[in-house]
Homo-oligomer: A and B are copies of this chain.
Amino acid sequence: MLAMTLPSEIETGPSRRPDQPPAGAHMLDRHIRAAASRVLQAREHVFFEGDPIHHVYQIVKGTVCLYMTLPDGRRQIVDFAHAGDFIGLGESGEHSIAAQASTLTKLRCLPAGALHEVARHDPQVGVQLYRALSDQLAAARNLLLTVGRRSATERLATLLLALSRRNERMGADPARISLPMSRAEIADFLSLTIETVSRSFTKLRQSGTIDLIQSTLVLIRDRRALEQLCADEPAAGR
């Protein structure tokens, strides 16, 4: 198992500036900066179901899909992790889910033991991890609602709108969505088949809701219609 990082080692991070705040507000950032990083090609795995847990990872760049499988091969993607997100949080012993890069991805590797040790001593870090976990719980439950109760087209609309909103938050064009995942991944995320995903794209295109510039590049033409389909919030004052 991994020993606690010594304070001196914390300083290792590249590009630290001396004007740091007094409290532990950025302790986590520091540890992350000090961590080893790892680059994965699309389709490479970060870890598999059942692997012993060594690290918690933070996505620096790219998209990672987290999935579970049944023995007969049926697969359910339970989350897509994007830049900034943590994966492997809250697990102990061995991984209960697998993580696979969807695109070229860069990760920071945080030794799990050390991270939890830090969290134990530094409430700030603990709170940060707690929040991250809460967000993942909320995401899982939202996906559950989508998969359990929405139709195929509604599911796709929900995904597109989520990606659009993500663009918005990141300062990118919310009407132009570059899909970081394949049809197969979308299918396994939305609990559909690739054929149904494809047909749903076609339906949205034919209804004028979206444009498909390429199979991986979507333009939202009618956001209202998309929101109507998701119907997650009574889309009132927007």
Q: Which residues of A contact B (CB under 8 A)?
A: 2-3, 68, 70-72, 74-76, 78, 89-92, 96-97, 117, 119-121, 123, 126-127, 129-131, 133-134, 136-138, 140-145, 147-150, 191, 231-234
Contact = CB atoms under 8 A, between A and B. Distances in A.
- Copies of this chain, complex-wide, total 2
B121 A3 contact: yes
A234 B71 contact: yes
Contacts of A143: 144
Contact of A133 (B90, B92, B117): B90
Nearest to A116: B127
Nearest to A71: B231
Given A70-B231, A72-B231, A231-B70, A91 B147 contact: no
A123 B19 CA distance: 26
A136 to B, nearest CB: 6
Contacts of A119: 123, 126
Contacts of A140: 137, 140-141, 144
Contacts of A117: 3
Contacts of A141: 68, 78, 96-97, 140
Given A97-B141, A137-B137, A70 B127 contact: no
B70 A137 contact: no
A111 B2 CA distance: 17
